[in-house]
Amino acid sequence: MLDLEKRKSKNKSKKITIIRHCVQIISFVFFHYVILELLFTINLNVFEGVVKVQPFLSSPRNSLTDGGGIVEFMFYFFTQGTFPLLLIGVFVLLILLTNRFVCGWLCPIGAIQDVLSYIPADEKTISYTTHQRLLKIKYFIIILLILIMVSLWISKIANEEFYESYKQSVGLLGTRPIAFFSLSEFLFVFLPDVVANIFLTASLAPIFADFWSFFAFFFYMIIIILSVFYPRAYCRYICPFGALCARISKYSFLKLTRNPVKCVGRQECGVCERMCPKQIRILDETFEGFYGEGECNLCGKCLEECPYDAIEIKFG
């Protein structure tokens, strides 16, 4: 059986992975309009109005945006005392229609983690119980943020004076809610600043400027190193966008299904589970659709690698 598996796996085309990586590269360039500006020597500030209302993934914080993505914009509006009904509607609809396609195919931070996972190293798996426990970190983060944002929103409506002092007391959380938990913010805003200052001061002092700089630097460096061994470590355990998506994606119309006639099961095969970068127990889920408790990002690896073509994509 193993020979059959190997032979079939070997013959499988990597078409999905190649297409996905091409889409990721295009998306990386387009969502980071700073790169577009460099490539084509244009000034995209003229599109400020448009970018402000379509803030899906524009990561580098600059004059064009107050946020780093649709979730940060939603939270930002809460902090300003506005209920972002339209953005919430767009976000929910997006997940219902496309599941976590954005995470697997478009997100620049996902792409960076995928590149890291290609660094030759012994890929490791986390024990199921530990993995389940770690998954809760991102829910803890998002619940904390929601509590702060919603209370800011209510206080803005109820008592302007209290709102001002409350907002001041939560500091940067009141204006850049996701910033502390965003690898994007770290890579495209914080790190370039720190590196520039290191060159300017010819010392490592900028890393130790204050407790939070020090903490953020080492925390995200550890996450980046972990991503080499544990694919998509940040997506799995920290990403606030991922946390919200995971809760909605199990209701998505777009899903992966497993054909019970073709699938030979874990004992005979189990290739799909071994290939899944998110450690999803595909074979424990229903044939009609598996989501990995919302963790599946539709990367397509299981579909591509299944030696028996038992996995299919379905809408509806």
Binding site for ligand SF4 (CB under 6 A): 256, 258, 263-266, 269-272, 275-276, 278, 280, 282-283, 292, 296-302, 306, 308, 310-311
d(Cα 139, Cα 205) in Å, to the nearest integer? Answer: 34
Residue closer to ligand SF4 (CB basis): 5 or 66: 5
Report, in Å, the least distance between residue 105 CB and ligand SF4: 11
Residue closer to ligand SF4 (CB basis): 58 or 99: 99
Residue closer to ligand SF4 (CB basis): 216 or 269: 269
d(Cα 130, Cα 124) in Å, to the nearest integer? Answer: 13
Report, in Å, the least distance between residue 145 CB and ligand SF4: 25
Report, in Å, the least distance between residue 301 CB and ligand SF4: 4
d(Cα 305, Cα 22) in Å, to the nearest integer? Answer: 19
User: Cα angle vertex 227, ends 31, 139, to 5°?
Assistant: 75
d(Cα 17, Cα 5) in Å, to the nearest integer? Answer: 19
Cβ-based neighbour number of residue 83 at 10 Å: 13
What are the Cα distances from residue 253, in Å, to 96, 289, 303, 310? 6, 10, 18, 19
Residue closer to ligand SF4 (CB basis): 61 or 301: 301
Report, in Å, the least distance between residue 40 CB and ligand SF4: 34
Residue closer to ligand SF4 (CB basis): 66 or 268: 268
Report, in Å, the least distance between residue 35 CB and ligand SF4: 27
Q: Please state the length of the chain.
A: 316
Report, in Å, the least distance between residue 291 CB and ligand SF4: 8
| 313: phi then psi, degrees, rounded to nearest 5 | -100, 140
| 238: phi then psi, degrees, rounded to nearest 5 | -120, -40
DSSP string for 237-277: HT-HHHHHHHHHHTT-SEEEEE-TTT--HHHHT-HHHHH-T
Residue closer to ligand SF4 (CB basis): 66 or 285: 285
Contacts with 241 (C-beta within 8 Å, 6 or more apart), sequence order = 69, 70, 71, 103, 107, 178
Residue closer to ligand SF4 (CB basis): 113 or 297: 297
Report, in Å, the least distance between residue 253 CB and ligand SF4: 16
Single-letter code of the amino acid located at 179: A
